Amino acid sequence: MPRSRRRTYREGIDRIELQTVPEEDIVTQDHSGPQNYAEPQNYAGPQDNAGPQNHAGTGPNRPQPARRRLTRSTTDSMIGGVAGGIAEYFGIDSTWVRVAFVASIILPGPQVLAYLLLWLVIPKG
């Protein structure tokens, strides 16, 4: 650290004042007596799980997320259901996928060949 920065840093630390809190403003809890906590009506008691549980939600009781699969659409199909399946997978309207495909036709490249390949590779849903 350059000398001028060190000096500025030290001067800043010297300016910090210690702030104290009056004793009457400190909140404490009395842990000397028994606590009366009501348990929920549907409480089933402690669960006996086989194996350690991570508190981050990765234990054995964590629900597994539904796995999305790319499939050709059977309900939203014009030619092969590829555009409808891609739209369902990404959660958008299939019209936008079709418009993007038609707009890409004016660009050089194998778009039609790619569509036919996807038609063969993507399983029917």
pTM metric for this prediction: 0.47
* DSSP secondary structure letters along 13-55: HHH-------GGG------SSPP-PPPPTT-------SS---T
Per the structure, the count of domains in the chain is 1
Token pair in block for residue 51? 């194996």
Distance from C-alpha of 68 to C-alpha of 77, rounded to nearest angstrom:
19
Distances (CA, A) of 118 to 54, 83, 94: 41, 10, 16
For position 39, what pLDDT does the model report? 55
Residue range 2-56, pLDDT digits in tens:
655 556 666 666 666 656 667 776 666 666 655 555 555 565 656 655 555 555 5
Residue 83 counted as domain residue: yes
Residue range 66-84, pLDDT digits in tens:
788 889 998 888 888 999 9
C-beta of residue 48 within 8 angstroms of C-beta of residue 91: no
41 or 112, higher pLDDT: 112
Q: Could you give the dihedral angle defined by the CA atoms of residues 36, 41, 45 and 50, in that order, rounded to the nearest 10 degrees? A: -140
Residue 9 counted as domain residue: no
Domain that holds residue 110: 68-125
Residue 35 counted as domain residue: no
C-beta of residue 80 within 8 angstroms of C-beta of residue 62: no
Residue 54 counted as domain residue: no
Residue 10 counted as domain residue: no
Residue 96 counted as domain residue: yes
For position 87, what pLDDT does the model report? 93
The answer, yes or no, to whether residue 114 has pLDDT greater than 80, is yes
Residue range 46-60, pLDDT digits in tens:
665 555 555 555 556
